[in-house]
Structure 1
Amino acid sequence: MLLFSLQEILWMLAAAILLDRWIGDPRWPTHPVIRIGRFIKRLEAVLQREGASPSLPAAALRFRGAVLAATTVTASFAVLWGIVAAASAIHPWLGYAVNTWFISTTIAIKGLKDAALLVYKPLSSGNLGEARTYVGYIVGRDTDHLDEREIARAAVETVAENTVDAVVSPLFFALLGGAPLAMAYRAANTLDSMVGYKNERYLHFGWFSARLDDVLNWIPARVTGLLLVIAAWVTRGMSARRAWMSIIRFARLHPSPNSGIPEAAAAGAMGVRLGGRNRYGSVISERAGMGWPIQPLNREHIMGTVLLLYRTADLILGGVVCLWIAVIIG
């Protein structure tokens, strides 16, 4: 059962985008995604008690992982639907406010910018140690021995990739089903970030979560690629043509069916080369190159990627407003 009309959803999406850009992630009450993460940890502790045992069949681990994913996503949707429905029953405007606020918690425009700035500022002052610490908060790779170029690459890649995960995808699902569906998506995305690894513990247990995240992001990632091309077109010093050609040439080389699209677009738009060697503990991962090295990658490209992020958010906001006006007129 839909709680809101398309017209109502559209203006709430616009309000949620503005709310996130001005305020960002809430410090109180506890962020809903943090609560989802705690739920995943508790349920994993129950389902994964034998997860490290090589004697447990892969099929059994995959089944348990599917139970974890299905339970988490369903519970996230059901709880949010109940909260929004209860608020709407008290008063329609309370329902609007609650739905808008929860949508804003599923996106992270300001949060991504702030995280990027925490890396950019110490790089600007030559403090590589502090920059390594902060970039380590937003990437999974080892950062202890990264030089400035590699720190910048890590930050650029994660901001570009999260333009899908933390902006376009949740807004896409919010358009389809309000805050409950957006939060269900964030639950799936959080599952992937927590258990979707190809290591001994999660290779089978996290398989379903990783595939679910790939499926849910498939359409939004391609929409993001188009938006980034347009964002490059309206941004001085960036190339829309190169962004588009980079997507066509390089995105398919990325191990993820989705992440290569925004990374290739950002690399092409700014004329830099992304990808390369990443270290994860004792594991070395060689990522295919993205884009052409027209200029050396440096800290300024972190802010260039943030600019692309904000231009993308502006395009979405403008599109939502235009669609809202069209619905009203129609």
Structure 2
Amino acid sequence: MLVVLAAYITDLLIGDPRWLPHPVVYIGRFIAFGERQLRRVARGSKQLRVAGGILAVLVVGSSYFITLLLLQGAAAIHPWLAAGLEIWLISTTMAVRGLAGAAARVLSPLIRGDLDLARQQVGWIVGRDTAQMGAPEVIRATVETVAENIVDGFVSPLFYALIGGAPLAMAYRAVNTLDSMVGYRNELYRDLGWASARLDDVVNYLPARWAGWMLVLAAWLSGRRAGEARQAIKRDAGRHPSPNSGIPEAAMAGALGIRLGGLNFYGGRPSFRPYMNESGVLPGTDHIRRAVDMLYLSSFLALTSGLAAAWAFRSLWCMCQGTVL
């Protein structure tokens, strides 16, 4: 629990400095390498689907066991080295500071009226086409990605770190990276990426619902629309194409009193996302700041509630084992 707390503080203080090697970079390279090799031998839909399952198992399993071996090697040298390494590894799976910074880099040019730079910046954090976006679409995309990544960028890594430390948190990050690289439903990845996409849905199922409640609580504590956030989750989250992403997006929309969702373009093709909190106003630049505020508060609430639950479980386990804490 102390390691997880230290990892959270580390992420807030330093984020992901460019001079430090980041595990996700190496996971991404392994995914790209594995995809190239598997496409050389897999032909047809069935073979590609099998290859997709193999890719997911190899990447996630390797991420888990390599992390485990690194920690065991560090522990053989000194326990404090293992603790420090685990703190850093878990912090790399979290992205509260990075997500807030990415939102700020979109907001700054928007305020200056530099729409081209704002489009460029938002293009780094969303998968949709951004070249022709107007300012309202740039703002909406930013708020939506902040909301969605409360799950991917913090609550899910926290959830798995509390259960299984850095190895399980890194395995989760591998699932998330697989989904972002091959988990698309287009012609190129429909078969190869099916396993990664389904696995991502499964591992985010519980954390997404935890995040939804933390956003409702954050709205209540900050004097925002907690009731609307709760109603938006109940009414709109199930309409989202993702079984998980709709929960934080609906909660954020309700809490801020804005409407999210609408027409997006992917590779030039239109895709309409159902509205979240349809009666809300269109988001403005200030809603990016408010979304980041919700990010910080909901992540803190998830941390405290997660640590409390972990402590309670440990206490109960020790009592059952007849151990005095």
Report the TM-score when normalising by structure 1. Answer: 0.92
Q: String of CA shifts for 1:19-67, please: whole Å, max 9, x gaps.
A: 101110132332100110011111111011366xxxx331111000111
- 1:319 CA drift (Å): 2.8
Q: Secondary structure at the match of 1:48?
A: helix
Which of 275, 278, 282 pairs up with 1:296? Answer: 282
CA distance in 2, matches of 1:194, 1:30: 20
Matches within 5 A, 1:51-130: 56-130=43-117
State whether residues 224 and 262 of structure 1, in contact with CA within 8 Å, keep that contact through their aligned partners in structure 2.
yes
State whether residues 132 and 143 of structure 1, in contact with CA within 8 Å, keep that contact through their aligned partners in structure 2.
yes
Which of 137, 155, 176 pairs up with 1:168? Answer: 155
Matches within 5 A, 1:37-56: 37-49=28-40, 56=43
AA matched with 1:175: L
Matches within 5 A, 1:1-330: 10-49=1-40, 56-236=43-223, 238-320=224-306, 322=308
User: Bigger CA drift: 81-90 or 291-300?
Assistant: 291-300
| C-alpha spacing 1:50/1:82, structure 2 compared with 1 (3 Å) | closer
Q: String of CA shifts for 1:247-299, please: whole Å, max 9, x gaps.
A: 00000000000000000000000000000000112311011000144333111
State whether residues 26 and 105 of structure 1, in contact with CA within 8 Å, keep that contact through their aligned partners in structure 2.
no
CA distance in 1, matches of 2:185, 2:209: 24
| C-alpha spacing 1:79/1:325, structure 2 compared with 1 (3 Å) | closer
State whether residues 271 and 292 of structure 1, in contact with CA within 8 Å, keep that contact through their aligned partners in structure 2.
no
Q: Secondary structure at the match of 2:125?
A: coil
State whether residues 87 and 94 of structure 1, in contact with CA within 8 Å, keep that contact through their aligned partners in structure 2.
yes
CA distance in 2, matches of 1:323, 1:213: 24
Q: String of CA shifts for 1:125-170, please: whole Å, max 9, x gaps.
A: 1111110000011111111111111101000111100100010001
- 1:96 CA drift (Å): 1.0
| C-alpha spacing 1:58/1:321, structure 2 compared with 1 (3 Å) | closer
State whether residues 11 and 320 of structure 1, in contact with CA within 8 Å, keep that contact through their aligned partners in structure 2.
no
State whether residues 13 and 320 of structure 1, in contact with CA within 8 Å, keep that contact through their aligned partners in structure 2.
no
State whether residues 254 and 280 of structure 2, in contact with CA within 8 Å, keep that contact through their aligned partners in structure 1.
no
- 1:324 CA drift (Å): 7.0
CA distance in 1, matches of 2:268, 2:75: 52
State whether residues 264 and 273 of structure 2, in contact with CA within 8 Å, keep that contact through their aligned partners in structure 1.
yes
State whether residues 122 and 131 of structure 1, in contact with CA within 8 Å, keep that contact through their aligned partners in structure 2.
yes
- 1:102 CA drift (Å): 0.3
Q: Secondary structure at the match of 2:6?
A: helix
State whether residues 129 and 268 of structure 2, in contact with CA within 8 Å, keep that contact through their aligned partners in structure 1.
no
AA matched with 2:148: E
Give aligned pairs, total: 316
| C-alpha spacing 1:324/1:286, structure 2 compared with 1 (3 Å) | closer
Gaps of 5+ in 1: 1-9
- 1:320 CA drift (Å): 4.8
CA distance in 1, matches of 2:309, 2:50: 42
CA distance in 2, matches of 1:205, 1:36: 17
AA matched with 2:234: I
Residue number in structure 1 paired with 2:321: none
- 1:318 CA drift (Å): 2.6
Residue number in structure 2 paired with 1:6: none
State whether residues 275 and 289 of structure 1, in contact with CA within 8 Å, keep that contact through their aligned partners in structure 2.
yes
AA matched with 1:284: P
Q: Secondary structure at the match of 2:204?
A: helix
State whether residues 264 and 271 of structure 2, in contact with CA within 8 Å, keep that contact through their aligned partners in structure 1.
yes
State whether residues 253 and 280 of structure 2, in contact with CA within 8 Å, keep that contact through their aligned partners in structure 1.
no
Gaps of 5+ in 2: 316-323
- 1:91 CA drift (Å): 1.4
CA distance in 2, matches of 1:318, 1:182: 18
CA distance in 1, matches of 2:304, 2:38: 45
CA distance in 1, matches of 2:80, 2:134: 51
Q: Percent identity?
A: 50
State whether residues 155 and 211 of structure 2, in contact with CA within 8 Å, keep that contact through their aligned partners in structure 1.
yes
State whether residues 152 and 176 of structure 2, in contact with CA within 8 Å, keep that contact through their aligned partners in structure 1.
yes
- 1:93 CA drift (Å): 1.4
